[in-house]
Structure 1
Amino acid sequence: MQRLGSPTPLSAAEAARRKKRRFQSRSDEEIEAEMDNRGLSYRHGWPLLPPLPVQTVTRGATLAVHNAAQHLGTVQDILLAQRIHTYDAFFAYRVPNDASYDEPIEAFLTLVATVNAAVPVTFVAPIIQLRQYLKTQEETRDIFIELIDYRAIYGLFTFPIRHKETAILEAWDQVSNIAETEIAKFNEKWLSMELLHRGLMEHHCSPTVVITSPSAGNNAWTQAILPVIRQRLRNLTPLFDLEVMCATTLVGVRKSDTLSVESYAKTVVMGGSIGIPNDTKHAGTVGGFVKLSDGKTYGLTNHHVVRDGLVDEVIKATNENYLKPGQMEMSTNPHRFNSPADCDHTSFIEQWKEQEEIWEKQKNKGNALAVTELTTIQTQLNKANQSSRDFGTLFASSGPRVMERPEFLRQPGSAQPKGKAASTNVNFLLDWALLEIAPSRSVENKLPNTGMRPNAMATHLVKGQLCNTWTPLDSGKTHIKRDEVQVGKHGRTTGYTFGTINSALTKINPKVESGWENFGKVYHLDSSTAGVCYSIIRRGKSDFVDSGDSGSVVLHDDTGTWLGLLFGENASGSGLMLPMDLILKDIQNVTGLAVTEPRLDMNPS
């Protein structure tokens, strides 16, 4: 799966700071001046800490510090003397999202202490004492110091804006415009802007403007942009918090842990793994299957999942900026796909080979279960290696475009939308592709029989459920301005997950930066109007989306009807979704064929 954004090169000053963070501070005043100044009430430290979110890697961190246990004991004594209770203290590598692949992980070695940041104490004095102590030790002289609330170490509580919160929803346009205006004054980059409830405690989460930026670590954010935006937001009612998170892309890929022998069946079901042959790094999800009036059924995924250099060139040469069926270049050189994707197939084989090696050793030791286990393993390997993974070829694609339209379209048999949603046009992103199914495979719009964890989350979706209808987001039980709409999906990476659609639209950066392929550039947005999509906030402990889930069909939890198409993830943990009525309407426009499945159901039950 191709990335739609790429890491922003670090400034010379930032690169130098990371390469050799040798602070010469000797006095308490100098240490205080170097402390983190991002203004987060739940996170304090020295020096300026990497912007959140960060990946926490503990493996090898303790071994990197000589006498680590002794140092941690002293750290806890220092904090206790300052009346700060620590829930835990440990060494870890806290790696930011914008870290380049050639940066050594040692550059992010951090002393982490989890505390209760809601207690009214000052953290300046204890951080100074910690720094004065650690700088006397060679192995800890340059490490970060991070005191973070124990509830925030792996992320804040996040909840959607509810449909009944009209004052917040009505203020969203003004709030986001203020943020856009101030960011533009400093020419900083941003990727997305969403409105969520965020906080340390489940029942005390303020409405928060969450901005993602590949340059979130730049001083301009903390020293200029955020203070001005906060000042301007203080004049509004209700009060809004502000948070900037580091993100270099809204899409990506990681290893899939959901592959099973069912993934190699002749009949492919919803949420399967797909990828370009011989591509060992990228994969996406075929979310469901669309039957057109030509009588054929096609796999539905994202455009960015199928794009490569050839597809980009073909689309660039068209006037419409999308890929119609029968394009000559694609007919003479079909763009093929495998299911499962090559990277997932390789991972599946490696996992079973590891198990085979383990049980071979057990067999040599006389374990009576070994023969049975080895037979099962060989069956799995034979199925994976002997099955045809040829899935199909690219048939049509939206290309990277937007569609200007009201948030809701009037559907047959529905009431005319009222209010702002009926009259104000917004730029919805378009990101879909159809794959023509290979003769050796068949498809069915039903959920997989594996992967649903018992009691993982209260849901009406069940394994093997037939899902072949779609519903707009302004009718029946799925009116997001009237109801709390709960959803689920099955994706290539995370399998079954569940969430709630956020009632506030998420904005995507329209600005084109030379040398930085952001969403605005890819989607040909001008500098005056942002693109939009919906956010989905997880229900339960499992993230709703991870890299590689792009292309998943988002289903109404109560009825299993199609509501949208997942195309990305945000640094806040939310999934990014395009409405299904938009997708199906554009499929008809591009292909010239009517959609016969999924069929429209205005009152699903």
Structure 2
Amino acid sequence: MFIDKRVPYRLGTSKLPPLPIESDLVEGRFPPKVQEACDIAKEYLKDEPLSFLYIHRRGEERKTALILSLYAPALKDKWHKAIEKLYKCFEHEEGLVAEIVDYHVHNPPFPKSITTVEVDLHQVIALLDDHEWMTVDIVRWYSPIRQEDWPTVVITARDAGQDSWWSKNIPAVEQFLKDQGLDLEVVLQFLDQLLPGLSSEEQDKHDLRAAHDLYFSSEIGDSVGIQNMDGSETLGCVVSVEDGREFGVTACRNFRQGPGSTQIGLIGLSIQSPSSYDDFLSKKWLSKDLKAEDLHISNLGKISTVSSSGSWLTDWCLFELLPRTCIFRVPESWARIEDGKTYQVKKQGRSTGLTQGTISASPSVINSKYIKHAQDAGIITSARCIVSKDMPFCLPGDYGASVQENNSGTILGLCVAYNQATKVSYMTPMATIVGEINDAVASKIKEPKETQLE
């Protein structure tokens, strides 16, 4: 055993796994050694807030006596003395370790948006060598050292447990930022995958718009799916082109039929609202005065076009609306977003309903090489991250939802993914979507109209 002191606000009696780590509480009373760990913490941190957990981290055989407190630079010596005492206590204890960690590190609050762009992320990712990194974002992240939200480069990686991150790569990024005269922190989080689409088993864990409402009108933000098949996405917007055709727009990641499938196989399939699985769920929740047989699914049209760019970021599909199909709450305009600016936005989605957030001023970088089922394997630099206050801006099932400017309802992009390690959502800028649609349908979009935000 050895003492892990890589960061001052998280100390352990052995090498600590990367955060965030899923764990389960160990049932029953604390065993004697865990109780002894609690007593040691109370001895050295008696004037500080303390909580004690006895946990089993998933994927590990050992159990952990977890001590939660609030770190401050003035407490550094006390924390070190406490962990050294805990080390002696646990030195010959097999299958049991101790950890002292700041509350905010163990369960990070939602980050806040950054308002200025100062960092060239291309130079940052060049310092990450061949690591399996997934995303790089710049946000305001809570810093236990500064005891406030601070501009931070947040890196997620599948191999975040490798020692070389701490011995080489993170110090290199920190030195690069310092050489640029930038006072930013660097945080590393474990992430295996960006949150994928909903499986049929997961769909009933997410809320839907009131069940009966789904059948009496079709609105932007409603559940859509392929007829008689699992998979739910969100109706994002409606576009009209100059030759008179009208299309619904949504994401199609959740419509693919397993690994290696192509989007070409989606052409001609019928889109309905609500999706087949959501129809099943809704009818379970109906009030007694409504009869399931009186509620009819809306057949909206057939998929006519899918994105052919091959980019994981542009995962849209078009379905040509049937004659006399009426969609409500259709946004009338779209706008381009600029680097270095923040935008207050909202979205209506199938899973999380109406949420609000802020588009951060800095573009994010996503490595699609390690994203499951991604057709491309490159570095995506045009995604923008959205931060929200108390809940995710979007979750699986919300993908394809339009991200709208709060006051005007102008579309700025479509929801594309959620990062559970950093609690940020990602969107594809609408300018990218519009450009691809214009090329795909060999006609120009007439509605919604492009506008410029003040």
What is the distance in 2 between the residues matched to 1:245 and 1:384? 49
Matched, 1:272 2:222: yes
- What are the residue-to-residue correspondences of 1:182-581 with 2, within 5 Å? 182-184=127-129, 187-200=130-143, 204-252=148-196, 253=198, 254=202, 255-277=205-227, 279-280=229-230, 282-308=231-257, 312-313=261-262, 315=264, 334-349=268-283, 352=285, 377-379=287-289, 382-383=291-292, 386-388=295-297, 390-401=299-310, 429-437=313-321, 442-446=325-329, 467-474=331-338, 481=340, 484-509=342-367, 512=369, 516-517=370-371, 522-523=375-376, 525=378, 530-538=380-388, 540-570=389-419, 571-581=421-431
Question: Once the 2 structures are TM-superposed, how far is the Cα of residue 591 of structure 1 from its aligned partner?
Answer: 0.7
What is the distance in 2 between the residues matched to 1:384 and 1:557? 38
1:311 and 1:298, CA in 2 relative to 1: closer, same or farther beyond 3 A? Answer: farther
- Specify the SS of the correspondent of 1:590: helix
The one-letter amino acid paired with 1:47 is S
What is the distance in 2 between the residues matched to 1:556 and 1:296? 26
Question: Once the 2 structures are TM-superposed, how far is the Cα of residue 262 of structure 1 from its aligned partner?
Answer: 4.2
Quote the sequence identity (%). Answer: 23
Matched, 1:153 2:102: no
- Specify the SS of the correspondent of 2:287: helix
1:112 and 1:429, CA in 2 relative to 1: closer, same or farther beyond 3 A? Answer: same
The one-letter amino acid paired with 1:54 is I
1:577 and 1:81, CA in 2 relative to 1: closer, same or farther beyond 3 A? Answer: same
Question: Once the 2 structures are TM-superposed, how far is the Cα of residue 179 of structure 1 from its aligned partner?
Answer: 2.9
Matched, 1:88 2:43: no
Question: Once the 2 structures are TM-superposed, how far is the Cα of residue 471 of structure 1 from its aligned partner?
Answer: 2.2
Whether contact under 8 Å (1:400, 1:522) holds in the other structure is no
Residues 456-479 of structure 1, C-alpha deviations (whole Å, 9 max, x = no match) = xxxxxxxxxx632222225xxxxx
What is the distance in 2 between the residues matched to 1:220 and 1:384? 61
What is the distance in 2 between the residues matched to 1:310 and 1:226? 34
Question: Once the 2 structures are TM-superposed, how far is the Cα of residue 577 of structure 1 from its aligned partner?
Answer: 1.3
The one-letter amino acid paired with 1:468 is E
Matched, 1:78 2:40: yes
The one-letter amino acid paired with 2:240 is K
Residues 298-344 of structure 1, C-alpha deviations (whole Å, 9 max, x = no match) = 221124243336994465xxxxxxxxxxxxx666xx32344333444
Whether contact under 8 Å (1:251, 1:567) holds in the other structure is no
What is the distance in 2 between the residues matched to 1:384 and 1:502? 46
| Structure 1 gap ranges (5+) | 1-29, 96-102, 316-328, 353-375, 403-427, 447-465, 475-479
1:177 and 1:584, CA in 2 relative to 1: closer, same or farther beyond 3 A? Answer: closer
What is the distance in 2 between the residues matched to 1:134 and 1:62? 18
1:310 and 1:91, CA in 2 relative to 1: closer, same or farther beyond 3 A? Answer: closer
* Structure 1 match to 2:68: 114
More helix by share: 1
Residues 127-180 of structure 1, C-alpha deviations (whole Å, 9 max, x = no match) = 34445546777xxx4245332212333214522221xx3xxx24x11xx33432
- Specify the SS of the correspondent of 2:75: coil
TM-score, normalization by structure 1: 0.65
What is the distance in 1 between the residues matched to 2:453 and 2:80? 58
Question: Once the 2 structures are TM-superposed, how far is the Cα of residue 530 of structure 1 from its aligned partner?
Answer: 4.6
The one-letter amino acid paired with 1:558 is N
Question: Once the 2 structures are TM-superposed, how far is the Cα of residue 232 of structure 1 from its aligned partner?
Answer: 3.5
TM-score, normalization by structure 2: 0.84
85-94 or 240-249, which deviates more: 85-94
The one-letter amino acid paired with 2:443 is L
More strand by share: 2
What is the distance in 2 between the residues matched to 1:263 and 1:212? 39
- Specify the SS of the correspondent of 1:430: coil
Residues 420-451 of structure 1, C-alpha deviations (whole Å, 9 max, x = no match) = xxxxxxxx943321123467x944241xxxxx
Question: Once the 2 structures are TM-superposed, how far is the Cα of residue 587 of structure 1 from its aligned partner?
Answer: 0.7
What is the distance in 1 between the residues matched to 2:271 and 2:318? 11
1:341 and 1:145, CA in 2 relative to 1: closer, same or farther beyond 3 A? Answer: farther
Whether contact under 8 Å (2:363, 2:381) holds in the other structure is no
1:263 and 1:75, CA in 2 relative to 1: closer, same or farther beyond 3 A? Answer: farther
- Specify the SS of the correspondent of 1:558: coil
What is the distance in 2 between the residues matched to 1:195 and 1:124? 30
Out of 126, 135, 140, which is 2:82 matched to? 126
